[in-house]
Structure 1
Amino acid sequence: MSEGKKMTSSRRHHLKSLMLQIAANLLEQEAAEIIVTKEAYLAENCAALDLSRDQAALMDFCKKLHQAIDKIDEERYDTQVKVEKADKEITELKMKVIELAGVKKPALKKVRMSADAMLKALLGSKHTVNMDLRANLKQVKKEVKEESAEVVGDWRKNIEDKADRKKMFETS
């Protein structure tokens, strides 16, 4: 079949049905093999029952069977308890591994959203919040301090005044 041609739907359907028939035949063969092996195992490991004995012998045989069943049942229970303990231990160890590994935090994605849109998403559309904080501020006019020319004027006079102050502290 060349690369350019596609399989027709009838051909595809025919191949599917063929594969299903083959699979069904294989399943039937497998089931028959299981039955044969089971019968062979039972014939090999379980002897045929001899029911030609008297009633006392049959009662004794039944008691032995019940004892064997009880013994096997106890063993099954013991193994079941062991398995449950092992399962609990496995789950506890898994939990410890998870605790030791820690929880990995997913990488945060950048979200381009204004503060107004975030608050609207958090609080719902009922609440309208204006995040224009500059609108709520008071406007303060700056007072320009103009230093008088007199203060800046003659520096010698300024030094003399300070000298007088110095004398005042020295005398006291």
Structure 2
Amino acid sequence: MSEGNNEQKRGKVPIARKIHLKSLMLANAAKKLEKEKNERDIERNRVLKDTVPQLNTSSLSVQELQNMCKQFQQTIDGVDAERYDVEAKVSKNRNEIESLTQKVLDLKGKFKRPTLRRVRVSADEMLGALAETTYKTSLDLRSNLKSVKKEDEKEHKQAEVHDWRKNVEAMSGMEGRKKKFDSGAPPQ
């Protein structure tokens, strides 16, 4: 039992301690980022010294400076062309890889499922999304349906009763049957 109590005591870390540890971790991360940045700068300077020689432009004439600029421009154009070619190859390879992976998935019969996120939606919002409407619908749908249904039944019964009483004499005999046949109403 004493081991269980020790584990419980170790598990509880005061908020002040958590904040202190977090600030120490952030400070350590900031130091490492600064160190990485300095190392990258040193490496970049070293590579530039190795690849680009120092130029003494004070002793050169205008014509020599113009020739040097033209050479630099040609070099830049060549590098840009190479960069464009490499980017084109990379994008072509990437598209080919995607199409091949899609073919493999099709052959296996397994498809990638997108990662779904949980979204909290109220019942009104769900009904609105399902109905694709912007207004809020009430959840009391049964009472609305019943009231509409009762009104429709009353109107329907009144219309039948009214038509029946009006047409009793007109529908009697052979002429009435002929009228029903012509109007498309089923005989009674």
How does the TM-score come out when normalised to structure 2? Answer: 0.51
Residue 4 of structure 1 is matched in structure 2 by 8
Q: Give 1:93's aligned amino acid.
A: L
Residue 69 of structure 2 is matched in structure 1 by 62
Q: Give 1:33's aligned amino acid.
A: E
Q: Give 2:37's aligned amino acid.
A: A
Spell out, residue by residue over 1:7-40, the C-alpha distance to the aligned partner (whole angstroms, 9 max, x if none): 2111121111111111111111111111111112
Residue 108 of structure 2 is matched in structure 1 by 101
Output the CA distance in 2 between the equivalents of 1:102 and 1:95.
Answer: 10
Spell out, residue by residue over 1:136-166, the C-alpha distance to the aligned partner (whole angstroms, 9 max, x if none): xxxxxxxxxxxxxxxxxxxxxxxxxxxxxxx
Spell out, residue by residue over 1:37-94, the C-alpha distance to the aligned partner (whole angstroms, 9 max, x if none): 1112111221112212000001111111111111111111111221122122112112
Q: Give 2:83's aligned amino acid.
A: R
Count of matched residue pairs: 108
Output the CA distance in 1 between the equivalents of 2:104 and 2:21.
Answer: 49
Partner secondary structure for residue 57 of structure 2: coil
Matches for 1:8-157 after TM superposition, within 5 Å: 8-52=14-58, 53-103=60-110
Q: Give 1:19's aligned amino acid.
A: M
Residue 168 of structure 1 is matched in structure 2 by none
Spell out, residue by residue over 1:102-142, the C-alpha distance to the aligned partner (whole angstroms, 9 max, x if none): 257xxxxxxxxxxxxxxxxxxx976x9xxxxxxxxxxxxxx
Partner secondary structure for residue 54 of structure 2: coil
Output the CA distance in 1 between the equivalents of 2:43 and 2:110.
Answer: 51
Unmatched 5+ stretches in structure 2: 1-5, 112-140, 150-188
Q: Give 1:22's aligned amino acid.
A: N
Please state which structure has a larger fraction of its residues in helix. 2
Q: Which has the larger radius of gyration?
A: 1
Output the CA distance in 2 between the equivalents of 1:96 and 1:64.
Answer: 48
Output the CA distance in 2 between the equivalents of 1:40 and 1:11.
Answer: 44
Q: Aligned in 2, Cα 1:46/1:103: closer, same or farther, shift over 3 Å?
A: closer
CA root-mean-square deviation: 2.3
